[in-house]
Amino acid sequence: MAIPSQLLPYLLAAAAAFLILSAIAEQRGLEEQQQQQQAVVARPRCQDMCGNISIPFPFGMGKPRCFLPGFEVICNTSSSGRPRLFLAYNESGPVQVVSALNHRFTARNVTASFVMKNAVELMDISVAHNEARAYRAVSSACSTNSTHFRAKFQYTNLGDEGPFLLSAMRNVLIGVGSNVESMMMTSTGETGNEMKAYMPSCLSNLMGKLKYATDGNGTCSGLGCCQAALPLNVTEFGVSFMPRLNLLWQTNPCFYGMLVEKSWYNFSVHDLYGRELLYPRGVPVVLEFAIRNLGSCPPEGQQKPQGYACISGNSTCVNTTRGDDYVCKCLEHYDGNPYII
C-alpha cells in the first residue's frame, strides 16, 4: 500500500504542528513540575497529552525514543476544534478506508466508485486495560428508489504486523434497518473494495411492519436492530450488507451497520427514519494492543532480553491469548505505567 497522495499534506502539517507542540510541551513540563507532582505516563521530555487525551508510553509522538514501534501517534492541532489524536501510519500501518458507491449493489462484488483513506483517530488510551478506543464511522446503504441504493462502506486495516487487534470481547456487530442483514467482513484488496471471508452477520426484518420495531423500541433483538458477537484475532474488518429489498424505502430508506463498543449503541425507532447518517463523526470501537517484539513473555527467572518492555520495578509480564505477544501489568496494589521506569 503506497501512501496516498492526499495524505502527504497531512503528514507535513502534522510535522509542523509537532514542532510547535514540542515547544509547548517543554514549557508545560516546567509548569507541571512546579505544581504537585502528577502520575508519570510518558518517557521524560515526551509529549504526554493531545488536547485532553493522555498519551501513555508505549504510545508517543515525535522522537523515536518516545514510543515503541507501531505505537507512534500524531496530534493534529490544525483543525479549529480540539486537537485530535491519530495513529501514525505508513504503507503497512493502520488505515481507515471509506468507499462509496451509487448503484445497485451486490455484496459479493463491491466495486467502489469513491475511495478515501484516513488515519485511525483515537478517542482515549488505557494502559491498565491494554486498550485504545478509536472512532469508526458507520456503514450505510440508503435507498434512492425501490431497486437502487447509495452505499458507504467503512473498512479498517490495523496492519498484520502491528500491535493492534479488534477486541472481540468489548465490541459487537450491529445492524439497524427495516430489513437489513449486516455483516462483518475482511478484505483482500488494498483499497478495501474487494471483500471476502464473511464473518458474523445478523438480521433485522420487520416484514414491512414498523409497529414491530416500535414495540421493541430500546432493545436490539432483531426487530429494527440486530447484533452479533465478533471472532478473535481480527486485524482487518469492514461492515457490509447482504442485498435485501427495502419495502419501506420511502419512509425508512437507510440501513446501517457498525462495529461498536458493547453497550454503547442504544437502539431507537427514530434511527430507522430519514436520510441522516447515524453518528457521522464515528462510533467508538475498542482496540487491544500488545507488545510484539519478542514473542511471549520470557520464562520466569531468566535474564530479561534486550528490548523487554515491562521495565517498571513493580510490573509483571502477561501472555496474551493471541500467543505471539505480551502485555505489561502493574503488580497488585500498584498503579502507574508498567512500561516506564
Ligand X SMILES: *[C@@H]1O[C@H](CO)[C@@H](O)[C@H](O)[C@H]1NC(C)=O
Tell me which residue has its CB nearest to ligand X. Answer: 313
Confirm or reject binding of residue 150 to ligand X (CB under 6 A).
no
Q: How far apart are CA 104 and CA 326, in angstroms?
A: 45
48 touches 55 (CB < 8 A) = yes
Q: How far apart are CA 71 and CA 60, in angstroms?
A: 7
246 touches 143 (CB < 8 A) = yes
Confirm or reject binding of residue 106 to ligand X (CB under 6 A).
no
The cell numbers describing 261, all together, are: 463498543
Contact pick of 27, 147, 221, 250 for ligand X (by CB under 6 A): 147
192 touches 238 (CB < 8 A) = yes
Q: Which stretch binds ligand X (CB under 6 A): 25-33, 60-68, 90-98, 252-260?
A: 90-98
Return the number of other C-beta atoms located less than 10 Å from residue 285's C-beta. 24
Q: How far apart are CA 195 and CA 240, in angstroms?
A: 9
Beta bridge partners of 238: 155, 185
Triad 52, 54, 59: Cα angle to 5°: 140
Confirm or reject binding of residue 69 to ligand X (CB under 6 A).
yes
Q: Which stretch binds ligand X (CB under 6 A): 23-31, 42-50, 252-260, 319-327?
A: 319-327
The cell numbers describing 328, all together, are: 505489561
Q: How far apart are CA 135 and CA 284, in angstroms?
A: 5
DSSP result, 274-318: SSPPS-TT-EEEEEEE-B-SSSSPPPTTSPPPTT-S--STTEEEE
Contact pick of 27, 78, 219, 221 for ligand X (by CB under 6 A): 78
Confirm or reject binding of residue 214 to ligand X (CB under 6 A).
yes
Triad 316, 322, 326: Cα angle to 5°: 20
Instruction: Quote the least distance from Cβ 326 to ligand X, whole Å.
Output: 7
Confirm or reject binding of residue 33 to ligand X (CB under 6 A).
no
Confirm or reject binding of residue 175 to ligand X (CB under 6 A).
no
Instruction: Quote the least distance from Cβ 202 to ligand X, whole Å.
Output: 19
* Residue among 10 and 198 whose Cβ is closer to ligand X: 10
Confirm or reject binding of residue 320 to ligand X (CB under 6 A).
no
Contact pick of 126, 245, 266, 274 for ligand X (by CB under 6 A): 266
Confirm or reject binding of residue 135 to ligand X (CB under 6 A).
no
Instruction: Quote the least distance from Cβ 159 to ligand X, whole Å.
Output: 6
**According to CB under 6 A, which residues from 267 to 306 bind ligand X?**
268-270, 296-297, 299-300
Size of the site for ligand X (CB under 6 A): 46
* One-letter identity of residue 119: A
Contact pick of 55, 73, 119, 122 for ligand X (by CB under 6 A): 119
Q: How far apart are CA 156 and CA 153, in angstroms?
A: 10
* Residue among 30 and 281 whose Cβ is closer to ligand X: 281
Confirm or reject binding of residue 319 to ligand X (CB under 6 A).
yes
Confirm or reject binding of residue 215 to ligand X (CB under 6 A).
no
Q: Which residues contribute to the site for ligand X (CB under 6 A)?
A: 10, 52-53, 69-70, 76, 78-79, 86, 90, 92-93, 109, 111, 119, 124, 144-148, 159-162, 214, 217-218, 232-233, 264, 266, 268-270, 296-297, 299-300, 313-314, 317, 319, 322-324
